[in-house]
Amino acid sequence: MRSGSGLILGIESSCDETAAAVVRAGGEVLANVVASQMTLHAKYGGVVPELASREHLRNIVPVVTAAMAEAGLEFGELDAIAVTEGPGLAGALLVGITYAKALALALGKPLIAVNHLEGHIHAVLMEQGIGIREQGSGGPLLALVVSGGHTHLYLAEEPTSQNRDVGHPAMWRYRNVGRTVDDAAGEAFDKVAKLLGLGYPGGPWMDALAMSGNPRAVEFRFQQIKARRVAADNDKSEDKSRFPSGMTNKKTEDGEHFDFSFSGIKTAVLRYIQTHEMAAVVETRRRVLGEVLRANPAMRPADVLRDMPEAFDAQTLDLIASFQYAVVGNLMRQTFAAAEALGARGIVVSGGVSANSELRRRFAEEAAQRGLRVAFPTMAMSTDNAAMIAAASWGKFCAGEFATEGLVATPQLKLGTRD
């Protein structure tokens, strides 16, 4: 194992955030700088790959410079450079990889390739001290990575946790035990928000507005993905049979899979908007909100709701609350079923959608009832950042597993194995 102070510069550019961070020994964040392109892409209602690459090129040098200044370090003091290899947008990934390769070469420091999905998991492990201050024991963890591009369940294990020193982690091993067969959960949040004339990205809008709606107003069934309005006063306590599992869990010879599907619920919302003749109301809201957000792009969804409540009718708020209730319920059912079937000692939830307040509340309640530990990242660590990339590289650094000069962007990079 390599010694040294373990100062690693992490670089992340897989989607629409250019990020750089310095992390010591996989656990102490000395700097974490993120330049978001959100307002640029908001105009188009989604990430435009060409624009993303151009913005990364513009931002990469200032972001890295800012991170080094924040950490109070010179480049020569670093022990390694870690960079996101994939998955993500090819052109966007290339900017970070090319920069990291050139820097590593110029400094004569090792380069470490990191899987973005492992980064999301390590955001939580780092903050909780799992595998760093605290040794993993008593079985694997189940990690739900849920973002705009991904919805995956991994069984994560520290293979040599019994005989290693805390602070010098082994590399984690992952088995994919669930994934979406179509849209990611965050993508469904974004698409439904767009259908309803809300801002981009849609997740934070849906989260803020759902609090003012009735989650039982519209019933979404995941098996047949049909929506129907139920009486508002028919507000029963949660009856799990009303919301059957999103996918039939498939048992293969080698293992069980807990897959997801979110494109049906998006179509069900579209149909609901059509059959309930909401189009005119949606168009008015799209125009009014568009004007407000162009004038003040930093305005938060909660501020908009407070300042102009007339933009959000009860039917829309009920639809949003019902959608979120159903999606969170589906994520919960698959995750807790997998945790039980696979003997997980705890659950880690990460990725942009893990910022959702209803998701956090309901996962925490269910975990408490089952006597399971559940952990989330802090809000800043939920969405894309480079501290999670530097943290995830620590095991590889200790094992001396470095990338070569031939490192390329891998847009479809997978994490772990799948039976």
Q: Choose, by CB under 6 A, the member of 26, 169, 186, 246 that binds ligand KG4.
A: 186
Which residues, 65 to 104, sit near ligand KG4 by CB under 6 A?
none
Tell whether residue 190 is a contact of ligand KG4 (CB under 6 A): yes
Q: How buried is 170 (Cβ within 10 angstroms: 0-12 exposed, 13-18 middle, 19+ buried)?
A: middle
319: alpha, beta or left, given left = phi > 0 and alpha = psi -120 to 50?
A: alpha
The yes or no reply on residue 351 touching ligand KG4 (CB under 6 A) is yes
Site stretch for ligand KG4 (CB under 6 A), options 263-271, 274-282, 305-313, 346-354: 346-354
Q: Could you tell which of ligand KG4, Zn ion, none binds residue 190, using a CB distance below 5 to 8 A set by kind? A: ligand KG4
Of 131, 140, 149, 199, the one binding ligand KG4 by CB under 6 A: 149
Residue number with CB closer to Zn ion (118 or 384): 384
Q: Tell me if 189 contacts ligand KG4 by CB under 6 A.
A: yes
Euclidean distance between CA atoms 337 and 349, whole angstroms: 15
Identify what 318 binds: Zn ion, ligand KG4, none; CB under 5 to 8 Å per kind.
none
β partners of residue 112: 82
- Among the listed residues 332, 338, 339, 355, the single contact to ligand KG4 using CB under 6 A: 355
Task: Tell me the closest approach of the beta carbon of residue 190 to ligand KG4, in angstroms.
Answer: 5
Judged by beta carbon, residue 275 or residue 378, the one nearer ligand KG4 is 378
Residue 388 interacting with ligand KG4 (CB under 6 A): no
Distance of CA 15 to the CA centre of its chain: 12
User: How many residues are present in the chain?
Assistant: 419
Query: Per CB under 6 A, does 198 bind ligand KG4?
Result: no
CA distance 60 to 84: 13
Tokens coding 379 = 């809000």
Residue 204 lies near ligand KG4 (rule: CB under 6 A): yes
Q: Tokens in use for 411?
A: 């847009």
Q: Is 352 in the site for ligand KG4 (CB under 6 A)?
A: yes
- Amino acid letter, residue 203: G
Interface with ligand KG4 includes 202 (CB under 6 A)? yes
Pick 156 or 355: Cβ nearer ligand KG4: 355
Cα 134 to Cα 138: distance, rounded to the nearest angstrom: 12
**Member of 18, 176, 356, 393 binding ligand KG4 (CB under 6 A):** 356
276: how many CB neighbours lie within 10 A of its CB?
15
**How far is it, in rounded angstroms, from Cα 356 to Cα 379?**
9
Instruction: For the CB of residue 210, give the shortest distance to ligand KG4 in the complex, in Å.
Output: 9
Given the complex with Zn ion, which of 68 and 331 has the nearer CB atom?
331
Q: Which residues of this chain interact with Zn ion, rule CB under 5 A? A: 147, 384
Three-state DSSP class for residue 144 = strand
User: 330 near 266, Cβ under 8 Å?
Assistant: no
Residue 12 in contact with ligand KG4, rule: CB under 6 A: no
Buried-state track 13-25, b at ≥16 Cβ within 10 A, e below 16 = bbbbbbbbbbbbb
C-beta of 314: minimal distance to Zn ion in Å?
A: 34
Where in 206-235 is the site for ligand KG4 (CB under 6 A)?
207
201 lies in the site for ligand KG4, by CB under 6 A = yes
Q: What does the DSSP 8-state code read for residue 132?
A: T
Q: What is the DSSP string of 14-75?
A: SSSEEEEEEEETTTEEEEEEEEE-HHHHHTTTS--HHHHHHHHHHHHHHHHHHHHHHHT--G
List contacts with ligand KG4 (CB under 6 A): 15, 147-149, 186, 189-190, 201-204, 207, 351-353, 355-356, 383-384
